[in-house]
A = this chain, B = another copy of it.
């Protein structure tokens, strides 16, 4: 029996989202959570103690210099994703980076270039993309269960009451488009299997300058139209609704499906509920990266995929600045 190789992970930051990764790393046969880093020694010690992580570092550089670590989970604020993912890869570490991989196409292209030059694996942590529900919806659409695709509606709204949240800081890549709008956009792109030709939207801008609410429209090749809304200042709503000329799929837990979830398909005047059992939400992205590193399997979220999502969001921001629809290059 071949010896199992363990990937030793280091958490770059003590962000809340880390907690989502700890359980799947513990559950995995191929991964070990080895270290955590914070710019504050106290925070690093406290986090390591609370979560029983063997090693801690009081700087991000120290974590990247730790020879035992092979994989970095980059959960820094959005604007720091590119810089530290690049540094991690240049230090010989693979990277699972929180979405968005970067906050601009320019940075993304640098990240891709460094990945190519170093041979390191880097992929974006869009956990919903690994869940069985997402794969099933894609399969249903592709096999024609709802006929010809026409409309995709997405919503991801919540009320963010944490006033010091990095999400309100424009310098840190804040705003609801980057934080939650990225999901319905990613979902629509995944389902169409195509990239938007044009995007346009409107936002409510907060006192710090970030988009607190954004409602947008994406036009895909073949005339498929996607409308979405995302918000920090609206009561919670998460929904994807995918409509074809023969039916409609309604997904009430599209972005954070549980191990048991349900979706609805309407067709021929009938409404059917489909129960789905999936893996725990964040397990998929850990397994996906393990397979990429250990077995050379292409990650579920390719660089091109991340790039197109970021391009769409960048263009949606641009449409608000320029007060007009933005055309995107046909990819």
Residues on A close to B: CB < 8 A?
150-151, 153, 157, 159, 200-202, 204, 213, 215, 217, 219, 223, 225, 227, 229, 231, 233-235, 237, 243, 245-248, 266-267, 324-325
Contact = CB atoms under 8 A, between A and B. Distances in A.
A155 to B, nearest CB: 8
A248 B237 contact: yes
3 nearest A-B residue pairs (beta carbon) = A215-B225, A227-B227, A204-B223
Nearest to A323: B325
Task: Output the residue of A151, A159, A213, A223 with the most chain B CB within 10 A.
Answer: A151
A248 B213 CA distance: 15
Nearest to A247: B235
A247 B237 CA distance: 11
12 contacts: A150-B233, A151-B229, A151-B231, A159-B245, A202-B217, A202-B223, A215-B217, A227-B227, A235-B245, A235-B247, A237-B248, A324-B324
Contact of A245 (B229, B234, B247, B267): B234
A8 to B, nearest CB: 41
Contacts of A157: 243
A248 B223 CA distance: 30
Number of copies: 2
Contacts of A204: 150, 223
Nearest to A214: B225
A40 to B, nearest CB: 34
Contacts of A229: 151, 153, 225, 227
Contacts of A217: 200-202, 215, 217, 227
A57 B150 CA distance: 45
Task: Output the residue of A200, A201, A213, A215 with the most chain B CB within 10 A.
Answer: A215
A200 B325 contact: yes
B219 A202 contact: yes
A3 to B, nearest CB: 50
Contact of A248 (B201, B233, B235, B324): B235
A235 B215 CA distance: 24
A150 B229 CA distance: 11
Contacts of A233: 150, 245
A266 B155 CA distance: 16
Contacts of A219: 202
A150 B203 CA distance: 10
A288 B68 CA distance: 79
B246 A235 contact: yes
A160 to B, nearest CB: 12
Contact of A324 (B215, B235, B325): B325
Nearest to A225: B215
